[in-house]
Structure 1
């Protein structure tokens, strides 16, 4: 199992990016959360099998049609044990 924290910058708020990520998490059996950050970025905290994480991140990096991903910073972090994937509201 693997857990990553991703900070996504670009045109990622107001374009359905969080819902796109949540759908990808469901497809790839990923647990964790996605949330908008006050500075216009999006944070993804995701954990799952290594191969699933890999494919999930590839999908997230593309984003939905109206989005534009300028930077996609991935950090490995310690496993937590999430039981589902949530869209967090700020």
Structure 2
């Protein structure tokens, strides 16, 4: 999955999952520069994908997400 690969490459922790409404949900923790780069990549999306919207909600660091992965 594109988001998982990019997050791992950037050293982020957290998860990505597909929602029933077709949206993709991501929760990620890491350095501000890595998170900003991740957002840029998500806005671009993988080849042949159409990203309609990226909504961001910045939250306080919790430190409990673990290695980045896909959740069901």
How high is the TM-score relative to the length of structure 1? 0.74
Pair 1:50 & 2:68 matched? no
State the 1:66 CA deviation: 2.1
| Superposed counterparts of 1:9-88, under 5 Å | 19-81=1-63, 82-88=65-71
Which of the pair is proportionally richer in strand?
1
Stretches of 4+ aligned residues off by more than 3 angstroms: none
Aligned residues: 71
State the 1:67 CA deviation: 1.1
How high is the TM-score relative to the length of structure 2? 0.91
State the 1:29 CA deviation: 0.6
CA distance in 2: counterparts of 1:52 and 1:33, whole angstroms: 15
CA distance in 1: counterparts of 2:10 and 2:35, whole angstroms: 7
Q: SS at 1:35's partner residue?
A: strand
State the 1:78 CA deviation: 2.4
What 5-or-longer segments of structure 1 have no aligned partner? 1-18
State the 1:77 CA deviation: 1.7
